[in-house]
Amino acid sequence: MINVIQYLEENPALVTLMKEQKVALIGVSAIEQQAILDSFDEVVCSRDPIWN
């Protein structure tokens, strides 16, 4: 999973294509793909006030 996330971080356009179901990741199950897409929908921001 580390390699998959790393690859998607470097190629964010792929995430959009995955959401549009235009591409799928080989060797990644449907539930894993959903977990990945959900994580890209969550806000991961270093300006989050919790960071201190």
Partner 1 sequence: MKDIDERINETLDILIENEAMLVDELKTMLKSFKAEKAVKGYAFGELCFWHYEAFVDCVNDDIFKVAAAIELLILSYDIIDDLQDKDSDYIWSETPELSLNVALAMLIMSSRAINDTSFEHKNLAIQLLEEYAFRSINGQQLDVLNICRDEQSYLQMIDRKSGSLTAMSCLIGEALAKGKVSEGIEEYGRYIGIIQQIKNDIQSLKTWGPKNDLLNKKYSLPIIYLLAQKNSISNTVINYYNGDIVTLMDKNVIRDELTNGGAIRYAITIKNLHKLKALNILENVAINKVGKEYLIQLMK
- The string of DSSP letters for the chain reads -HHHHHHHHH-THHHHHHHTTS---TT--HHHHHHHHHHHHS---TT-TT--
Please state, in angstroms and rounded to a whole number, the distance separating the CA atoms of residues 32 and 1: 9
13 binds partner 1 (CB under 8 A): no
24 binds partner 1 (CB under 8 A): no
Least Å from the CB of residue 36 to partner 1:
5
Asked if 25 interacts with partner 1 (CB under 8 A), we say: no
- Please give the residue ranges that form the binding site for partner 1 (CB under 8 A): 1-2, 5-6, 8-9, 31-32, 34-36, 38-40, 42, 44-46, 48, 50-52
